[in-house]
Amino acid sequence: MSATVVATAFGGPEVLAVIDEDVPAPGDGQVVVEFRAVGVNPVEYKQYGGFFGSDPASLPLHLGSEGAGVVVAVGTNAIGPAGPISVGDEVVVYRGEGTYAKRALQPAGAVLPKPAEVGWEQAAGLLLTGATAYDTVATTKVHEGDVVLIHGAAGGVGLLAVQLAKLRGATVIGTARESNHDFVRSIGAVPVAYGAGLLDRVRAAAPHGIDVAIDTVGTDEAVDVSLELVADRSRIVTIAAFGRAATDGITALGGGSPASAELRRRARGELLDLAARGEIRNVVAKTFPLADVAAAHRELQQSHPVGKFILIP
Ligand SMILES: NC(=O)c1ccc[n+]([C@@H]2O[C@H](COP(=O)([O-])OP(=O)(O)OC[C@H]3O[C@@H](n4cnc5c(N)ncnc54)[C@H](OP(=O)(O)O)[C@@H]3O)[C@@H](O)[C@H]2O)c1
């Protein structure tokens, strides 16, 4: 049996419940992971909030696609992206299934070795935001000498996009609320406050222009400023403004597109290596016991501290 979080209906965090669930023996290409830490992401409250549909037949919803833990059972052909998986392996899971749990069955293809240098909580929250950030800088072909505008530079995805763009030799301007400006500076970007007057502030911070815009926020302000500043629309991407992308001819990136899915799969090993070498760092904002998942989701939907929320099963 395993403590497992499910959404019993569509709605707000009040629909979340922790239940005891059987964990089946792993079948072909499957393993069971006992999680030490689980990453929390906005997509999870969007799922039971009905953002992606609200078919009652899909209830109860199992939540979570990332985490870090120890393999406690393996099925036949338990081969991960880095090779055979064994009981006792310390692993990072992404893109897993129903990771909001003490123990859960996972596809072997989502299970990678956890570098010893990366702690449980850091590892649990690295790969969803990291792979998304990797997709944004790879798709916009960020390279040496580029000036890159990142909307939401202190967010989970944004802070990794800043660091990955810096590693490619770019100069980065990052939007954030005033109280996060020291943090944005600490990861190597020039901070600019979002809100009225953003366009002028970015122009002042980047007098020679902006080559690439990466929107992790999805507001009209972020899209409008990006369109104003970047002539080449193939170098503007958003991970949140899907409606605007369709009307304005910019690229919306989601794990559902085959190109993004492939890029993100390939990014996982590199992200773990970079984190192990200390070349990127993700930030753990807060940890919550699994039972406090609703409180974590309520807080994540508001203005919250920099970094990832992590559940401890
Ligand atoms: N398409 C995909 O594949 C994909 C993948 C991952 C995430 N996402 C989506 O991307 C979004 C960000 O995810 P996340 O994990 O980075 O979330 P997060 O950690 O909660 O970060 C949210 C960011 O938004 C900023 N922000 C809030 N209000 C703003 C405003 N009015 N103007 C400008 N910035 C504002 C915050 O800045 P301050 O804290 O400085 O105020 C913060 O940096 C979510 O909608 C998520 O669902 C999409």
Q: Which atom of ligand 1 lies closest to the CA of 253?
A: 1
Please report, for the chain, the start and end positions of each structural domain, with discontinuous segments joined by +.
2-126+282-312, 130-252
Q: Other C-beta atoms within 10 Å of 77: how many?
A: 12
Q: Report the nearest-CA residue for atom 3 of ligand 1.
A: 254
pLDDT given at position 148: 98
pLDDT given at position 255: 74
> pLDDT tens-digit profile of 175-229?
999 999 999 999 999 999 999 999 999 999 999 999 999 999 999 999 999 999 9
Q: Give distance in angstroms: CA of 174 to centre of ligand 1.
A: 13
Q: Give distance in angstroms: CA of 54 to centre of ligand 1.
A: 23
Please report which residue ranges of the chain form alpha helices under DSSP H.
Answer: 42-48, 120-124, 127-139, 156-167, 181-186, 198-205, 220-229, 242-248, 258-276, 293-300
CA distance 115 to 91: 8
pTM value surpassing 0.85: yes
Q: Which of 216, 251, 271, 283 has most ligand 1 atoms within 8 Å of CB, for mutation?
A: 216
Contact (CB, 8 A) for 115 and 91 = no
Q: In order along the chain (313 residues), what is the average pLDDT of each group of 10 residues? A: 97 98 97 98 97 95 98 98 98 98 98 98 98 98 98 98 98 98 98 98 98 98 98 97 94 91 97 98 96 98 94 98
The reply to whether CATH 3.40.50.720 applies to domain 130-252 is: yes
pLDDT given at position 256: 85
Q: Give distance in angstroms: CA of 145 to centre of ligand 1.
A: 26
Phi, psi of 100, deg, nearest 5: -75, 75
CATH of 2-126+282-312, one of 3.40.190.10, 3.40.50.1820, 3.40.630.30, 3.90.180.10: 3.90.180.10
Q: Give distance in angstroms: CA of 218 to centre of ligand 1.
A: 8
Q: Report the nearest-CA residue for atom 20 of ligand 1.
A: 155
